[in-house]
């Protein structure tokens, strides 16, 4: 692999996720914090209009605008569709010789702590992930199987890097502790890329625990599409914990439990994420995999 030429730290892909927005503003004021000797670092506010009004998006969700067919479609003219095309043109390293690494900063109302969602299984990403989990043992690794062509997500514009997801934090709220943790992880990633470019990146051989998204689960809904149950109190805040057959998942408004009827243990994440009510998702099931690598 060539050296990494550019790292793009993206905040404000969603205009109500304040951690990334305020980090990008901080880096704009003090670019020396993210400068390294072997590559260029850019701090990018992805959706300035949405940030201004404090909403997830203006017209449509920017982080669903990066499918190749949509990027190529001149008829898509919403604000976010245009922003996606601009961001893709400026920072994609798909079909180019230049290696960019993307760090897309998000926050969630789910209790996911610090999660690094890998943009791909590129060997560099796995090395980076191994390094991050050795420094931050509580950091979780998540893989969502997509390829660049089909993925609507911003992180799909580069194979290298991924999304940093932190929570639980409400929309429109800054949590100082999660702000500082996110900043630390960013610095560690930058230092890691620097050592990679200098040929001194330590080879990590520790086994990785990677959670793989397997299925989105919607709320129970009536014929009008209205939700009929809430996340069960025993499941609330339990992201990444085992959900076993027969465990409660939902609680109806009348107080009846809805149980998990699957046959396999799963590890739900994005439990009760505010932005996913409209997307028909109460949580996402994952499977847990231990990956030996570098051996």
Binding residues vs a second copy (CB under 8 A):
22, 26, 54-55, 109, 168-177, 179-180, 227, 230-233, 236, 251, 253-255, 272, 274-275, 277-278
Specify the residue, 202 or 220, whose C-beta has the smaller distance to a second copy: 220
Burial class (CB in 10 A: 0-12, 13-18, 19+), 258: middle
Least Å from the CB of residue 218 to a second copy: 14
Both structure tokens of 225: 């599409």
Q: What is the DSSP letter of 243?
A: B
Least Å from the CB of residue 280 to a second copy: 14
Please, are residues 218 and 273 in contact by the beta-carbon 8 Å criterion? Answer: no
Phi-psi sector, 276: left (phi>0), alpha (psi -120 to 50), beta: alpha
CA distance 11 to 264: 37
Specify the residue, 57 or 88, whose C-beta has the smaller distance to a second copy: 57
Specify the residue, 28 or 86, whose C-beta has the smaller distance to a second copy: 28
Specify the residue, 70 or 218, whose C-beta has the smaller distance to a second copy: 218
Burial class (CB in 10 A: 0-12, 13-18, 19+), 290: exposed
Least Å from the CB of residue 193 to a second copy: 23
Least Å from the CB of residue 21 to a second copy: 11
Specify the residue, 22 or 79, whose C-beta has the smaller distance to a second copy: 22
Specify the residue, 160 or 275, whose C-beta has the smaller distance to a second copy: 275
Specify the residue, 55 or 64, whose C-beta has the smaller distance to a second copy: 55
Long-range contacts formed by 85-92: CB under 8 A, 24+ apart: 87/10, 87/44, 87/46, 87/154, 87/157, 88/157, 91/6, 91/8, 91/42, 91/44, 91/157, 91/158, 92/157, 92/158
How many CA atoms, within 13 angstroms, populate the side-chain half-sphere of residue 103?
A: 28
CA distance 15 to 148: 24
Specify the residue, 176 or 290, whose C-beta has the smaller distance to a second copy: 176
Least Å from the CB of residue 160 to a second copy: 27
**Selection from 105, 113, 84, 87 nearest residue 26 by Cα:** 105
Burial class (CB in 10 A: 0-12, 13-18, 19+), 242: exposed
CA distance 164 to 100: 16
Least Å from the CB of residue 129 to a second copy: 27
Name the β-bridge partners of 141: 116, 210
């Amino acid at each position: 692999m060539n050296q990494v030429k550019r790292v793009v730290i993206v905040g404000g892909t969603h205009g109500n996720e304040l951690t990334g927005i305020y980090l990008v503003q901080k880096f704009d004021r003090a670019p020396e914090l993210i400068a390294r000797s072997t590559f260029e670092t850019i701090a990018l506010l992805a959706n300035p209009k949405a940030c201004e009004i404090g909403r997830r998006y203006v017209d449509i969700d920017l982080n669903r605008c990066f499918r190749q067919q949509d990027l190529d479609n001149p008829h898509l003219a919403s604000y976010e569709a245009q922003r996606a095309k601009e961001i893709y043109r400026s920072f994609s390293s798909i079909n180019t010789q230049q290696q960019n690494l993307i760090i897309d900063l998000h926050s969630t109302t789910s209790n996911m702590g610090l999660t690094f969602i890998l943009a791909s299984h590129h060997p560099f990403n796995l090395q980076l992930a191994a390094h991050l989990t050795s420094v931050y043992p509580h950091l979780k690794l998540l893989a969502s199987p997509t390829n660049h062509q089909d993925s609507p997500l911003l992180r799909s514009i580069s194979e290298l890097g991924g999304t940093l997801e932190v929570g639980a934090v409400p929309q429109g709220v800054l949590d100082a502790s999660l702000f500082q943790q996110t900043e630390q992880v960013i610095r560690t990633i930058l230092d890691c890329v620097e050592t990679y470019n200098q040929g001194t990146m330590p080879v990590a051989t520790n086994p990785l625990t990677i959670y793989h998204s397997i299925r989105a689960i919607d709320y129970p809904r009536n014929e009008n599409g209205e939700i009929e149950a809430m996340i069960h109190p025993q499941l609330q805040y339990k992201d990444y914990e085992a959900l076993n057959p027969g465990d409660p998942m939902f609680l109806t408004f009348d107080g009846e439990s809805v149980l998990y009827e699957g046959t396999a243990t799963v590890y739900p994440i994005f439990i009760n994420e505010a932005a996913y009510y409209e997307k028909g998702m109460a949580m996402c099931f994952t499977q847990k995999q231990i990956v030996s690598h570098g051996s």
